[in-house]
Amino acid sequence: MKSPAEQLEILTRGTAKVLSDSELLKKLEKGEPLRAKLGVDPTSPDLHLGHSVVLEKLRQFQELGHQAVLIIGDFTAQIGDPTGRSRTRPPLSREDILANAETYQEQAFRILDRDKTEIVYNGTWFNKMTFSQVIQLNARVTMQQMLQREDFKNRIANDQEVRLHEIQYPIVQGWDSVEVRADVELGGTDQLFNILVGRDLQKTMGMEPQVVMCLPILEGLDGVQKMSKSLNNYVGITEPAGEMFGKIMSISDELMVRYSLLLIGDEIDPAAHPLEEKKALAAKIVTRYHSAEAAEQALANWNNRGKLDEVELPGFVPPADRKDLIGIVQAAFDSLGEPKSGSDVRRLIQQGSIQLDGEKLPDPKSEPELSLGQVLKLNKKRSVRIAN
RNA sequence: GGGUAGAUUCCGGAGCGGUCAAACGGGGCAGACUGUAAAUCUGCUGGCUAUGCCUUCGAAGGUUCGAAUCCUUCUCUGCCCA
């Protein structure tokens, strides 16, 4: 077992904010496994690299012999975390939440050690609360405290609504910390406020307050907004190796530095060629979620993209009933599970996106001769090979 | 409860009787350029059996040759007062 000082060094590495180092050290010095809490709301079934930052940190706790406590916010998800929101979240149905919770765990255990993780659903205690207990819980917190939150402040300043259930959210999340007797709570920097409420509630219950540990928020592929599914700037951890590789390759050089640091813990060599560094980064990430072989294959495919013959492409059988280009391309998109409207396809054709073996096909009404093995490019990401 | 402002296409936001599938910006997509990156430039961005046709401007009615624009009712939201 590593010394408390060594552990502190490892655990605080890469964090955005720890409140406070000295408190954490004191807890570590007790020599007992700490209970490290991470609360997640199963609002979206798929995890992406943005979520992985905090999960990686939790795994470090596990590796050092501490207890990971994963709280599935089946109850909180019904409220909807207002964090960073400029508007109220739509509520989720009970079924969706439970289904999401399943897939969430499945995916989280690609990172976490299942055997060293305690999983609890916060509905376990919240669904049992009586209304008078809810009122009592609310009595532990002041309105002024809640209104200090930046999101709420901004929304009020901008004349946007803040609903009362939303200001309950931090209180409810904070109460989780009391229920699981958390020693440390992990979260993104945007969770600072919520985690602090947990500290306060623990204090009012006579408990030793949890240490706050915030991890940086990972920017999405656009490099500006945080990675999120709704902004479609994410890399899902279950995505196929090729997709994952391609998405990483599309980020800017500046963003690459940050991804490397937060996702892999490596520095980018500024002297090396950025293209090579980016390929290496993409390969490392693919290796983590798939395998070294998959990463090699993805890299090889990437390098061969110019040489179409060597790349594996999905086969596509041209439809018998549509000979015109619009019909063919539409069928090709359908075969990939990405249906497009005729107007969309028409636009792609007219703009030169549709290419047969590298030749643009600009006429929507033409009836091109397709022969076996030719490559039909649909858009930047999708191409198919003619089959029968 | 009273007063008042508002609800427009993915988002923000013009339009206030015909020239509106609806300005402009953002986002997205495509092309050019590149390191098949970013930045930049250009174009596109409701649907269709497509030089025309169909369905859209919170919902339902109504006025009119003609409505996103006017009237009525309804639903939802902000702000002010209580």
User: What pLDDT was estimated at residue A381?
Assistant: 82
Q: CA(A163)–C1'(B70) in Å?
A: 36
pLDDT grade for A196, boundaries at 50, 70 and 90: very high
- The amino acid at residue A179 is E
Q: What is the mean pLDDT of residues A145-149?
A: 84
The span from the first CA to the last CA of chain A, in angstroms, equals 61
Check if residue A156 sits with its Cβ under 7 angstroms from strand B: yes
**Share above pLDDT 90 across residues of chain A, in percent, rounded to a whole number:** 42
User: What pLDDT was estimated at residue A175?
Assistant: 95
For the beta carbon of residue A129, count every other beta carbon within 10 angstroms: 15
**C-alpha of A215 from chain center:** 13
Per the document, the length of chain A is 388
ipTM of predicted assembly, 2 dp: 0.85
Lowest model confidence (mean pLDDT) among A26-30, A91-95, A160-164, A230-234: A91-95
Report the largest interatomic distance among the alpha carbons of chain A, rounded to a whole angstrom.
78
Closest CA to A143 of A125, A126, A167, A119: A167
B44 nearest neighbour residue (CA to C1'): A347
Residue A259 to residue A77: CA distance in whole angstroms: 28
User: What pLDDT was estimated at residue A212?
Assistant: 95
Q: CA(A159)–C1'(B80) in Å?
A: 13
User: What pLDDT was estimated at residue A90?
Assistant: 55
Check if residue A334 sits with its Cβ under 7 angstroms from strand B: no
Is there a contact between A54 and A127 (Cβ–Cβ < 8 Å)? no
Closest CA to A175 of A297, A276, A73: A73
Q: Which helix (H) or strand (E) holds A119?
A: strand A117-121
pLDDT grade for A78, boundaries at 50, 70 and 90: confident
The angle formed by the CA atoms of residues A89, A92 and A94, to the nearest 5 degrees, is 155
User: What pLDDT was estimated at residue A84?
Assistant: 55
Q: Which of residues 29-58 of A touch strand B (CB under 7 A)?
A: none
Q: CA(A154)–C1'(B3) in Å?
A: 26
Closest CA to A361 of A374, A316, A315, A334: A374
Check if residue A341 sits with its Cβ under 7 angstroms from strand B: yes
Check if residue A342 sits with its Cβ under 7 angstroms from strand B: yes
Strand B nucleotides with an atom less than 7 Å from a protein beta carbon: 27-32, 35-39, 43-50, 77-79
Q: What is the pTM of this model?
A: 0.77
Check if residue A344 sits with its Cβ under 7 angstroms from strand B: yes
Check if residue A153 sits with its Cβ under 7 angstroms from strand B: no
Q: Do β-strands A383-386 and A67-72 pair in parallel, antiparallel, or remain unpaired?
A: unpaired
Nucleotide nearest to A360 (CA to C1'): B31
Mean model confidence pLDDT for chain A: 87
Nucleotide nearest to A340 (CA to C1'): B47
Residue A128 to residue A136: CA distance in whole angstroms: 14
Task: Compute chain A's Rg from CA coordinates.
Answer: 25
Cis peptide before A20 (omega within 30 of 0): yes
B35 nearest neighbour residue (CA to C1'): A275
Within chain A, residue ranges assigned H as helices are 4-12, 21-29, 49-63, 76-79, 94-108, 123-126, 131-139, 143-147, 150-157, 164-179, 192-204, 241-249, 253-259, 274-289, 292-303, 325-335, 342-350
pLDDT of residue A253 exceeding 80: yes
Closest CA to A243 of A181, A170, A297, A166: A297
Residue A235 to residue A229: CA distance in whole angstroms: 9
